[in-house]
Amino acid sequence: MIRDTFVPSRSALGVQRDRYRSFRRIWKHNLLYLMLFLPFAYFLIFQYVPLIGSIIAFKDYRLAAGIFGSPWVGLKHFHEIFADPMFGRAFRNTVTIGFLKLFIYFPAPIVLALLLNEVGNVAFKRTVQTLVYLPNFLSWVIFGSLMYILLAPSDGPVNVAIQIMGGRSISFMNRADLFQPLVVVSEILKSSGWGAIIYLAALTSVDPQLYEAAKMDGAGRWQLIRNVTVPGIAMVIATMFILQTGYFMAVGFDQIFVLQNAITLPTGDIIDTLMYRDGIQQARFDYTTAIGMFNGIISFTLLFVVDRIAKRMDHPGIL
């Protein structure tokens, strides 16, 4: 009896050959792949594994019973969220500050980068860059303390200047109506210099021949900025705008927590500080997990919509 012998087909041999080549390629660059281990482990352990705990938003979480042993309550916590007036206030403040940061703070690094790009004196340009970068390396605790000192109602430099000009002292940090503008101003002062780095890097990729051609056509400095510089970094601006939209609801817990006080809570209480009070101080982990899930859904929806709009306008998306 003649046994049937298996002869691998050419396609099977091709697959084996490709696998062998892939293995050799990975082994050849094994150190580079090894460098990916720590970032991969970080995102896996601290970003993806904690998502399992999101199920407590649908449970009556009890510490002794644990995540999986706590009883299910369905959408109970979400009903409590929408019935809670404190959440309504925090949601309105978060959306308002998010809009202010998106449409006032976001252009600030772009404008700063364009201004620095027009500076011809290299020494002066580097000095200004260093000065505007420095605040980014200060924590919000330090930067907030500096703001309290500068805006002190009695001897703060700002109020001293107002009194010299004949005005009355203003308690900036204790006025609810001024809290949100101060949040945006402090964000600009602290972070716009560092944010301008990306746009300054993008400006180096603009073709110098475009400037020469525009100058030959009689374009002035403002026309060069409007017709050459800004279009040259439009793709980068679109990408950064999409990313900023993804952080629309994350308006900065550390900044708000440092600057707010009991007087400014009506306009300064945001979702993150509400979650801190209810989740950490009162141990309502299930309730605040539901808030965080609701917050995340809104952020992802905004990110998805803006990304699709950007793609329809022939800009690269990120999704």
pLDDT in tens, 52-73: 888 999 999 988 888 888 999 9
pLDDT of amino acid 27: 81
| The two three-digit tokens of residue 215, written as one number | 């100058």
306 and 177, same structural domain?
Answer: yes
203 and 285, same structural domain?
Answer: yes
Residue 215: which CATH number?
A: 1.10.3720.10
Under a CB-based contact definition with an 8 Å cutoff, are residues 26 and 33 in contact?
A: yes
Identify whether 27 is part of a domain: no
70 and 98, same structural domain?
Answer: no
236 and 170, same structural domain?
Answer: yes
pLDDT of amino acid 159: 93
Which of 205-210's residues contact partners 24+ apart within 8 Å by CB, and which partners? Answer: 205/232, 206/232, 206/233, 207/232
Under a CB-based contact definition with an 8 Å cutoff, are residues 193 and 133 in contact?
A: yes
Q: What is the DSSP string of 275-313?
A: HIIIIIIS--HHHHHHHHHHHHHHHHHHHHHHHHHHHHT
59: three-class secondary structure by DSSP: strand
| Residue 309, Cβ density class (10 Å: 0-12 exposed, 13-18 middle, ≥19 buried) | middle
Query: For residues 151, 156, 162 and 166, what is the CA-based torsion angle, rounded to 10 degrees?
Result: 140
257 and 165, same structural domain?
Answer: yes
| The two three-digit tokens of residue 247, written as one number | 């952080």
199 and 59, same structural domain?
Answer: no
Under a CB-based contact definition with an 8 Å cutoff, are residues 108 and 219 in contact?
A: no
Going 24 to 25 to 26 to 28, the CA torsion angle's sign is positive
pLDDT of amino acid 28: 80
Identify whether 279 is part of a domain: yes
What does the pLDDT look like over 114-155, one tens digit per residue? 999 888 888 898 999 999 999 999 999 999 999 999 999 888
Identify whether 130 is part of a domain: yes
Identify whether 28 is part of a domain: no
Which residue is listed with tokens 């030959």?
A: 216
120 and 55, same structural domain?
Answer: no
139 and 241, same structural domain?
Answer: yes
Number of domains in the chain: 2
298 and 250, same structural domain?
Answer: yes
Identify whether 181 is part of a domain: yes
Tell me the C-alpha distance between 54 and 50, whole Å.
7
Per-residue pLDDT of the chain (319 residues; tens, 9 = 90+): 445 554 455 566 666 777 777 778 878 878 888 888 889 999 999 988 988 888 999 999 988 888 888 999 999 999 999 999 999 999 999 999 999 999 999 999 999 999 998 888 888 989 999 999 999 999 999 999 999 999 998 889 999 999 999 889 999 999 999 999 999 999 999 999 999 999 999 998 888 888 888 888 888 888 988 889 999 999 999 999 998 998 899 888 999 999 999 999 999 999 999 999 988 888 889 999 999 999 989 999 999 999 898 888 877 777 6
Residue 95 has phi, psi (to 5 degrees) of -65, -40
pLDDT of amino acid 12: 64
Identify whether 87 is part of a domain: no
122 and 65, same structural domain?
Answer: no
Identify whether 184 is part of a domain: yes
Q: Which residues contact 215 (CB under 8 A, 6 or more apart)?
A: 224
CA atoms within a 13 Å half-sphere pointing along the CA-CB vector of 278: 23
303 and 232, same structural domain?
Answer: yes
Q: Which domain holds residue 50?
A: 44-74
Residue 254's CB is within 10 A of a number of other CB atoms, namely 13
Identify whether 148 is part of a domain: yes
pLDDT of amino acid 1: 46
What is the distance in angstroms between the CA of the first residue and the CA of the last residue of the chain?
61
68 and 205, same structural domain?
Answer: no
| Residue 84, Cβ density class (10 Å: 0-12 exposed, 13-18 middle, ≥19 buried) | middle
Tell me the C-alpha distance between 180 and 94, whole Å.
10
